[in-house]
Structure 1
Amino acid sequence: MLQQQKEEQRRQIRQELEKDWQRQQIELAAKRKEAAWQSYYKPSPICRLDNVRADCANEHMRARRAFEAEYRD
């Protein structure tokens, strides 16, 4: 009985470690993607000064769509 409890504890620990590892991988992938986006998209000088303009929002959306279509982790 004690052996079964130890095995169950080990299994639970392995599962938690696996979940932690997966969470870390997801976070790293998100950070890599954000860094790639930051180096990919450079707003025009006018949009750096006034990013609430409609043409700047459109520029950003077009760039984001293109980035998403091209991005591979």
Structure 2
Amino acid sequence: MLSEHYELIEALATNFAIAVLFLLIGLAIQDVLNKGNVPKYGRWFVWLVLFLGCAGFIAKGIIQAFWEAGM
């Protein structure tokens, strides 16, 4: 049974690992921003860039799902 679902398990594990990586990057950025006395405008810009990276990853997953479904 495991060999039948190997590809699905691999895809889920990869997506989970990347989500955890984004979380850790976010925590590291928050720590650096707090310790560096970064102005509010700079903080907004940093979080915007991080959000756009996450949004791009999510959009890629949605597009890939539609593409593989044949739509």
Normalising by structure 2, we get a TM-score of: 0.51
Q: Does 1:13 align with 2:13?
A: yes
Aligned counterpart, 1:68: 40
Query: What is the identity, as a one-letter code, of the residue corresponding to 2:40?
Result: E
Report the Cα offset of residue 6 of structure 1. 0.3
Report the Cα offset of residue 68 of structure 1. 1.5
Extract unaligned runs of 5+ from structure 2: 47-71
- CA-based RMSD: 2.2
In structure 2, the CA distance between the partners of 1:13 and 1:68, relative to structure 1 (3 Å rule), is same
Report the Cα offset of residue 4 of structure 1. 4.5
Aligned counterpart, 1:26: 26
Aligned counterpart, 1:48: none
Aligned counterpart, 1:46: none
Report the Cα offset of residue 3 of structure 1. 4.6
What is the count of residue pairs matched by the alignment? 45
Aligned counterpart, 1:60: none
Extract unaligned runs of 5+ from structure 1: 41-66
Higher-Rg member (1/2)? 1
Report the Cα offset of residue 69 of structure 1. 3.1
